[in-house]
Amino acid sequence: MSEPVLHIEGLTKRFGGLSAVDNLSYTLAGGRLHAIIGPNGAGKTTLFNLVSGLLAPDAGRIFFCGRKISGLKPHEISRLGIKRTLQIKSVFPRLSAAENLWITAQAENRFLHPFRAAAQDRSIAEKVDRTLERVGLAHLAHRQAGTLSYGDVALLEIGMALISEPRLLLLDEPTCGMSPAETERAVENIRAVARTIDIVIIEHDMEVVFEIAADITVMAQGAILASGSPQEIAADERVREAYLGRPEDEDYVEEAAHA
């Protein structure tokens, strides 16, 4: 068997007395769209921050395709092919939509030309055009990203993830704050990408999770509570209790019923 895409051993991250991620081990075989769900504060985003190098673990190791990546800097991990989006949508507001994609495609170049006009490289310009087309932002190509609507920013983020040609894509609540139409478009995009790229997605929208994920991992209090197919997770009593809420918590029950 080939190396798993992502392999995590005994990962721990403490913030003061709180263990945000507590001795967590996890293996992502690859080839399937994987979702991580869990209540607020379960440590999902912290896990992503550890994998992408924004935080250094207190203990444990992370391997990407057999290569140890814990301890590397964020840009080094990114250059190995792990890309992620942030929970709070963040693009580069002073750059145009096209330039955001453009700089993402260029970021791995060791040499960034200091004086030639950025718009001159044809092959990258074509890639940028194709990506804009794909996420449906072609008509906004030259708008400053800071003036885009929230949904368009989220689409642009997905475009940035696409154009970087990742091997593993970590999406942190990609559809958070989107309108139903935008969510649909985003889900469509994520599905299309998942055919060629391994994706791990953190998502609160249960409808989205059960629609697209082949595997679901449930986190609670920094550890993995359960892992399995959507059917298994939906049927799991512990998950219902820990994540979907106690019976009196009506919102969650409603959401669970919906799922």
Partner 1 sequence: MTHAATIERALLAVFAVGMVAVPWLVPALFNQFWVSVIAEILIWSLFAASVNLLFGYVGLLSFGQALYFGFGMYGVAIGIADFGLPFWPAFALGILAAMAMALVTGIFAVRLTWHYFAIITVVFSLIFYFLALTNKWLTGGDDGINFTLPPTFQLGAWQLSFTDATFQYLFILATVAFCFWLMHRLIQSPLGKALLAVGDNDVRAALIGLNVYRLRLIAFVLAGFLAGVAGALFAFFGRYASASYMFYHVSGEAVVWTIVGGAGSLLGPIVGTSIFIFVREVVSSQWEHHELIVGLVAILVVIFAPKGLVGLWRDWLAALTEREPHAKDRLQVEPTSKS
Interface positions with partner 1 (CB under 8 A) = 52-54, 73-75, 78-79, 83-84, 86, 90-95, 99, 102-104, 106-109, 112-119, 121, 147-151, 160, 164, 177
Q: CB 240 → partner 1: shortest distance, Å?
A: 31
How far CA 98 is from CA of 47, 125, 129, 187, 227, in Å, comes to: 30, 9, 8, 22, 39
DSSP 145: G
Q: Which helix (H) or strand (E) holds 154?
A: helix 150-163
Cβ closer to partner 1: 140 or 242?
Answer: 140
Cβ closer to partner 1: 170 or 220?
Answer: 170
- Which amino acid is located at 147 in the chain? T
Q: Which residue has the tokens 């929208």?
A: 205
Query: Mapping DSSP to helix (H, G, I), strand (E, B) and coil, where does residue 17 land?
Result: coil
* Residue 4 to residue 250: CA distance in whole angstroms: 39
DSSP 144: B
Please list the residues that pair with 59 across neighbouring strands: 12
Tally Cβ neighbours within 10 Å of residue 16.
Answer: 6
Q: CB 253 → partner 1: shortest distance, Å?
A: 27
Cβ closer to partner 1: 36 or 105?
Answer: 105
* Residue 169 to residue 113: CA distance in whole angstroms: 28
Cβ closer to partner 1: 73 or 246?
Answer: 73
Cβ closer to partner 1: 116 or 258?
Answer: 116
Show the tokens assigned to 227.
């892992």
Query: Mapping DSSP to helix (H, G, I), strand (E, B) and coil, where does residue 34 land?
Result: strand
Q: CB 110 → partner 1: shortest distance, Å?
A: 9
Q: CB 83 → partner 1: shortest distance, Å?
A: 7
* Residue 147 to residue 168: CA distance in whole angstroms: 30
Cβ closer to partner 1: 55 or 213?
Answer: 55
Q: CB 60 → partner 1: shortest distance, Å?
A: 21
Cβ closer to partner 1: 143 or 240?
Answer: 143
Q: CB 78 → partner 1: shortest distance, Å?
A: 4
